[in-house]
Each structure stands twice: as C-alpha cells, then as structure tokens.
C-alpha cells in the first residue's frame, strides 16, 4: 500500500491571516512562490533532503473580504510526497521564515502604536524567502530593472538552475503552480556567467550573482564564507550587518537597506525611483529626485525602528487602489501592472 503524501499543521500568532500577511510584499509574485487567488492557497517548492517537494498552504475557504474569524487559525500544509521527519522540520522552519511567524502579536502591536493607521487592517508582517541567500538574490534581480523583468529573471533562474519536482499528485486539480526550486548556492556557484546572462537573462548581474553564491556555498567540506546565522542573530548590531552587506558583490545602498528589512531590521528605507514617485504622487512632495528622496526619508524617520513598515504599507495600499487587494493578484497578469507608467 502506497503511503499518502504528508499533511501537517502549522501554528501561527493569534492575529495571523495568511492572505493578508503572505500577500504583503512583491516577492510573493516571484518563482518559486505561487499564490492561487481562486483558492487562497500558497504553493511553494522546497529543495529538501531527499528530493524537491511542493507544499500547499491554506488557512480556510476562499473569501471576498478578509474574515476576522480566520485570524490565528492554524495553517494546513499538504506536501506533494511523503516527507521524512527531518524534512517536515525543515519545511516548517522554511515556511515560518517565509511567513514571518517569529513576529508575534506584541511585535505587531508595537508597530500599530507607532503608526495607528494600520491597526484596523492588522497589517504589519511582510513575507520573505525561506533563506537569506534567496532574499539577497531576489533583491539583486530587482535593482535597476522593471518589475516584469524581475519576475522573468526569477522564473528563468529556477527553470534553468533549480531542481524540478518529479511528480505531483492530488495537491490540486490546477496545474498552475511552479515546479522548480530556487537554485542552491552550490548550484549557482558552479554556473557559468554565460548561462546566467543568456538563459536566465540576468544581464550585467551574472558574475556578481555567481560571486555571491560562492560566498554562501560550502565547497569541498569547507564552510561558507558568509554564515546566515550571523545575519539572522538579533544580537548582531545592525550597523555591522549593513556594512557587511555593502561589502558584498553587487550590493549598493538600496539593496543593503532592502535586505535589512528582510532580516527584520526596519529602520532603514530602500529608496529608489518608486520612492520618488510615491513622494510626488502620494505625499505631494516637490523638487529634484534627490530632494524628494531625502524628504521621503525625513517623512518616515519619526517611525524609528518601524519606518520601513510604515513606508511600505503606504505604498502597498496605493498599489491596491490601482490593481485591487493583493490576495486577488495573479503573477501572469497583474505583475505587469507594476511599472511606473501604470501606477
């Protein structure tokens, strides 16, 4: 008798809503993440010990408006195959990082005290990747490029350098979820720059991405040069993390600030052309791009350690006014809306 694929439950903070808190940052539209707005299910491919697996994460039935009754309800996690006990632990840890389950109700309440605008909606968490390495690579693919190109780069990185799930059975009647993993540091470290440029279409980022991968990869029994645990440790001073990030290949001020918020350090703003547009269109600021950018930074400085959350959710709600609630967005269509000419 063939064993049934693994099913698990994942406890969440008492105020947690999957649709709101997962669909809270643009990376939820990037492969190998997939959000199904019809069933309100998160699909994520993970590279586990035995082989890749698809995880389907759900909190309840679909809805039109966010139901308060779902807050804090445990998540149901279905795997595409049987997971060994160690794989289950690793999968839960990966999902916990993606969904920011380490940020409890008190953390979010502190943000709402600093910026009461978001208390009613409950917004406070921003999704991220299962690993710091993936967060850094996704940040690199979002610099100096349009958002549709970022979507395409991440899809190609997974299809060309990721591992494909061999078989998916009975997860869903749909076949739209992604089937390739994000490349590991070890795989990307061995890639050729011509492969990244030609097949993954990453442009000038090719060699820098390989250099980053080599810093994170273990080679011939040697540990990585960069230890993600040091970056993730709350005892590590923010200034040291920021300086280290700026020393990495391809990481400038914008990328470093963005990676800081992905690490839960929200006091810095990753300012770019979208910040200038937001400053002019939403905040009514005037002046040169440089002046507007400084004024945006000054505007959110009073929010202190919550500055990025306040900044981001203000921009996010502006996007939603244009495109609709984020949990209704589809990567294949709505991702193309996120360009300066359409926002």
Domain ranges of the chain: 7-265, 267-324
Single out the residue of 266, 312, 325, 56 nearest to residue 175, CA to CA.
56
Q: Which of 55-59, 154-158, 320-324 has the lowest mean pLDDT?
A: 320-324
Residue 206 pLDDT exceeds 80: yes
Q: Using an 8 Å Cβ cutoff, are 116 and 71 in contact?
A: no
Q: What integer best gives the mean pLDDT of the chain?
A: 93
CA distance 207 to 130: 23
What Cα–Cα distance (Å) separates residue 227 from each residue in 99, 216, 217?
Answer: 22, 7, 10
Taking only the tens place, the pLDDT of each residue in 120-137 is: 999 999 999 999 999 999
Taking only the tens place, the pLDDT of each residue in 11-27 is: 999 999 999 999 999 99
232: left (phi over 0), alpha (psi -120 to 50) or beta: alpha
Residue 341 pLDDT exceeds 80: no
Strand partners, 199: none
Q: How many CB atoms lie within 10 A of CB 234?
A: 9
260: left (phi over 0), alpha (psi -120 to 50) or beta: alpha
pLDDT for the residue numbered 1: 57
CA distance 97 to 114: 24
Taking only the tens place, the pLDDT of each residue in 50-60 is: 799 999 999 99
pLDDT-based confidence at residue 239 (cuts at 50, 70, 90)? very high
pLDDT for the residue numbered 175: 54
Taking only the tens place, the pLDDT of each residue in 83-105 is: 999 999 999 999 999 999 999 99
Architecture in CATH of 7-265: Orthogonal Bundle (1.10)
CA distance 171 to 210: 34
CA distance 340 to 260: 25
pLDDT for the residue numbered 141: 97
Show the 3-state SS of the chain: CCCCCCEEEECCCCCCCHHHHHCCCHHHHCCCEEEECCCCEEEEEEECCCCEEEEEEECCCCCCCCCHHHCCCCEEEEECCCCCHHHHHHHHHHHHHHHCCCCCHHHHHHHHHHCHHHCCCCCCCCCCCCCHHHHHHHHHCCCCCCHHHHHHHHHHHHHHHCCECCCCCCCCCCCCCCCECCCCHHHHHCCCHHHHHHCCCCHHHHHHHHHHHHHHCCECCECCCCCHHHHHCCCCCHHHHHHHHHCCCCCCHHHHHHHHHHCCCCCCCCCCHHHHHHHHHCCCCCCCHHHHHHHHHHHHHHHHHHHHHHHHHHHHHHHHHHHCCHHHCCHHHHHHHCCCCCC
């Amino acid at each position: 008798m063939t064993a049934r694929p693994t099913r698990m439950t994942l406890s969440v903070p008492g105020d947690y809503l999957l649709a709101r808190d997962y669909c809270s940052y643009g990376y939820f539209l990037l492969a190998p993440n997939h959000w199904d707005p019809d069933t309100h299910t998160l699909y994520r491919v993970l590279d586990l010990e035995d082989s890749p697996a698809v995880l389907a994460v759900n909190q309840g039935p679909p809805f039109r408006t966010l139901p308060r009754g779902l807050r804090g309800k445990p998540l149901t996690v279905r795997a595409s195959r049987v997971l060994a006990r160690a794989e289950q632990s690793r999968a839960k840890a990966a999902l916990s990082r993606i969904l920011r389950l380490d940020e409890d109700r008190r953390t979010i309440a502190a943000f709402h005290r600093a910026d009461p605008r978001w208390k009613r909606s409950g917004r406070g968490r921003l999704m991220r990747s299962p690993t710091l390495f993936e967060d850094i690579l996704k940040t690199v693919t979002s610099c100096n490029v349009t958002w549709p190109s970022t979507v395409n780069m991440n899809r190609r990185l997974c299809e060309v350098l990721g591992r494909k799930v061999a078989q998916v059975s009975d997860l869903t009647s749909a076949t739209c979820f992604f089937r390739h993993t994000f490349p590991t540091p070890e795989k990307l470290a061995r890639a050729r720059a011509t492969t990244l440029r030609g097949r993954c279409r990453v442009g000038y980022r090719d060699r820098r991405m390989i250099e980053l991968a080599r810093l994170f990869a273990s080679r011939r029994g040697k540990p990585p040069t960069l230890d993600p645990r040091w970056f993730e440790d709350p005892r590590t001073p923010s200034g040291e993390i920021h300086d280290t990030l700026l020393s990495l290949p391809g990481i400038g001020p914008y990328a470093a600030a963005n990676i800081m918020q992905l690490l839960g350090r929200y006091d810095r703003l990753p300012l770019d052309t979208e910040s200038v547009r937001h400053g002019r269109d939403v905040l009514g600021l005037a002046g040169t791009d440089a002046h507007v950018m400084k004024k945006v930074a000054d505007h959110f400085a009073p929010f202190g350690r919550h500055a990025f959350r306040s900044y981001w959710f203000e921009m996010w709600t502006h996007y939603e006014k244009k495109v609709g609630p984020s949990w209704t967005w589809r990567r294949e269509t709505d991702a193309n809306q996120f360009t300066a000419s359409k926002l």
